Structures are given as C-alpha cells and as structure tokens.
Amino acid sequence: MGLIDLGFVLAVIAFGSGLSLASYRSVAARLGWPMGAWQRDRPSLPVLAGAACMLLASAYAFARGYGGYVLSASLIPAFGAAWAAFWTGFLRVGAQSALLLAPLMALLLVVWWLG
C-alpha cells in the first residue's frame, strides 16, 4: 500500500455517492429542494443505481476486512455515510452529480480492485 490507499478512497466515495443518490429524492421532497428528471420522473432508477454502488463498495469493504484490514473495512460505510451527508446536505443540488459520480467511482473501484 502506498501513502494514499486508492481502493479505500474509491470505496468511500462510491458508497457515499450511492447513498446520496439513493436518498436524495426523499430528502429533496421533504425540504423542497430541486430534483432532476430522474429523481422526479423515474425515482426507482437513482435508488437502484445508488444501491448497486453501495453494494459494490460494501463487497470491497467485506473483501478488505476478510484480508485482515478489519478496521479500515468498517470505516468505508462510516466515512461513506459522512460523505453522503456532506454531498447531499451541504451541496444540495450538487448531489445531483451523484448520478454520474457514483457509477463512475464504482467503475473505477472495480477496475482498481481487479487490476
């Protein structure tokens, strides 16, 4: 492992962006925030995409924990939830970018993990 653990960072961002994507519609509807077309017209697609990204990041965390990095594996969902709170709560409409960011980070995580 180098100075920066790229797999850990990618997993945290994939998990957090996925959680932000999956939960944005309910938060935005409750608080009167703007929603994009996917959240408004096709609410199940962002939830499924977000859940898939979270599951992939969780699989990486599980595999990482199985490999002996139990503490850092348990921090992936914790830091991911903090990332989601920041991304959704502070950036509001910036959370819409999770439509692109979550799948991209999940894809990069898979490429890095398998490579």
pTM to 2 decimals?
0.90
Residue 1 pLDDT exceeds 60: no
What values do phi and psi take at 91, rounded to 5? -95, -15
Average pLDDT over residues 5-32: 93
Q: pLDDT (tens digit, 9 = 90+) per residue, 56-85?
A: 999 999 888 876 777 778 899 999 999 999
Reference 51, options 24, 30, 69; nearest CA is: 24
Three-state DSSP string of 5-62: CHHHHHHHHHHHHHHHHHHHHHHHHHHCCCCCHHHHHCCHHHHHHHHHHHHHHHHHHH
Length of the chain (residues): 115
